[in-house]
Structure 1
Amino acid sequence: MSLPLIMIATAVVAFILGGLTTWPTIRRLRNRLADAIWQLEHDPVTGMLNRTGLLAAHATLTDTAGPIIVVLIDLDDFKPVNDTHGHDRGDDVLAAIGARITDIAALHGGTAARLAGDEYAALLPARAGDLARVADTFVALISQPVHPTTDGEPITVTASVGLALAEATDPIDEVALRRADIAMYHAKNNGRNRHAVYEPGMAMPATERRGPRLRDRRHSDEATA
């Protein structure tokens, strides 16, 4: 073999060996990047989308014609669960409730998220059917007892659910979630463990919860950062 061919063959072999050496590194970097993106858009307790993930999911709907159903779910009096059973059991309950909400949303072709604390949201296509029927499904399944994975008594929590129709192109905070939020407070104000559907002109009830929720404080902090 001539010297030029030997040099070319050596260079090719060196390139291949170099590629074999760097490929595991590239693969690890890609895996780390994918993991970082997943953590950015998901809640660590439930594995659901978080607020960032929900915003991203909503952004994919902006080209969708027609309305969507926005669901806001707030667990009723969840603090005693943590106070009585501890935060680990509380997290188990949050994860179990989150799994139910995710299943219901997926059944109707939508997506769900945990916004913060004991508050969840879901985006469903308007073809999901009658709003009251969809809401009753959320209320009924959430109120089923959560059985512990180890020893302990089942824990039962209920939820107030607000639903609203919005165009897919409507701003999610100022319109979509705001309408569902108002409806949710009406459900809570009317006895809890029930739902309410937003109607045009509906206002926040006078007995609105005092102080901003965690998700509202967090959103405000992000806006001023």
Structure 2
Amino acid sequence: MSLPLIMIATCLVAFTLGGLTMWPSVRRLRNRLSDATWQLEHDPVTGMLNRAGLLATHASLAEAASSQPIVVVLIDLDDFKPVNDTHGHDRGDDVLAAIGGRIADIAAIHGGTAARLSGDEFAALLPVRTADLARIADTFVALIAQPVNLTADGAPVAVTVTASVGIALAESTDPFEEVALRRADIGMYHAKRHGRNRHVVYEPGMAMPDVEHRRGSRLRDRRLSNEATA
């Protein structure tokens, strides 16, 4: 074999061996990047999508097809703070994870997806398969109110949490936070105002309740307000 051929063969062998040696590192790096991407779009407590993940899901839906109606559900747990105060934040996280699982299951049954937006606030994005939005919302209200069985201080305990639910129709091409989620948010606050542990279906023209009937402005509300005055 001539010297040039020997050099070429040596280079090929070295390149192959180097690739084989580097492959585990490349695979580990790829796994780390995949994990980092998952963490960016998922809530660590419940494993559900987070706000960024839900926004990405809506963006994909809006880009995939022409405008189509969607159902948006906003769920806010009623008086969740006493759960943490009584049983501790770890058990509180267990309750959030259990309720989040129920919400995700209901969303999946209806062909949609769900997310934990922040704290004790959840949302679901569903395709329109029925005009009976009240029945869908009632399912969320009823299943969330079922007791969550857990162990606290070595003893079994059943924790019951209720939710106020707002549900609304929107177009898939509508701005998600400014229109779709905002409508569901208005419905949710009306549910709070009328006694909690219930739902309200958003109707065109429905306005946000007065401040005294709300528990304070949210980051989303303050951001929209700042954008409007900028």
Q: Is the 8 A contact 1:69 1:123 kept in 2?
A: yes
Cα 1:138–1:210, aligned 2, differ >3 Å: closer, same or farther? closer
Residue-pair matches, total: 221
Alpha-carbon RMSD across the aligned residues, in angstroms, is: 1.9
The match for 1:48 is 48
Aligned counterparts of 1:112 and 1:130: Cα–Cα separation in 2: 19
Q: Is the 8 A contact 1:109 1:128 kept in 2?
A: no
Cα 1:134–1:213, aligned 2, differ >3 Å: closer, same or farther? same
What's the offset of the Cα at 1:151? 3.3
Cα 1:92–1:215, aligned 2, differ >3 Å: closer, same or farther? farther
Of stretches 39-48 and 23-32 in structure 1, the one that deviates more from structure 2 is 23-32
Find the residue that maps to 2:61 and give its secondary structure: coil
Aligned counterparts of 2:174 and 2:89: Cα–Cα separation in 1: 37
Unaligned 5+ segments in structure 2 are: none
Of stretches 208-217 and 88-97 in structure 1, the one that deviates more from structure 2 is 208-217
Identity %, equivalent residues: 78
Find the residue that maps to 2:146 and give its secondary structure: coil
Cα 1:181–1:118, aligned 2, differ >3 Å: closer, same or farther? same
The match for 1:154 is 158
Q: Is the 8 A contact 1:105 1:111 kept in 2?
A: yes
What's the offset of the Cα at 1:155? 0.4
Q: 2:142 aligns with which of 137, 140, 145?
A: 140
What's the offset of the Cα at 1:11? 1.1
- How far does the alpha carbon of each residue in 1:36-95 deviate from its partner, in whole angstroms, 9 at most, with x for none? 111111111111111100100010111353210000000000000001111001000000
Show the 5 A alignment for 1:135-214: 135-148=137-150, 151-206=155-210, 207-213=212-218
Show the 5 A alignment for 1:63-102: 63-102=65-104
Cα 1:95–1:217, aligned 2, differ >3 Å: closer, same or farther? farther
What's the offset of the Cα at 1:147? 0.8
Unaligned 5+ segments in structure 1 are: none
Aligned counterparts of 1:89 and 1:40: Cα–Cα separation in 2: 24
What's the offset of the Cα at 1:219? 8.4
Of stretches 204-213 and 119-128 in structure 1, the one that deviates more from structure 2 is 204-213
Aligned counterparts of 1:81 and 1:213: Cα–Cα separation in 2: 21
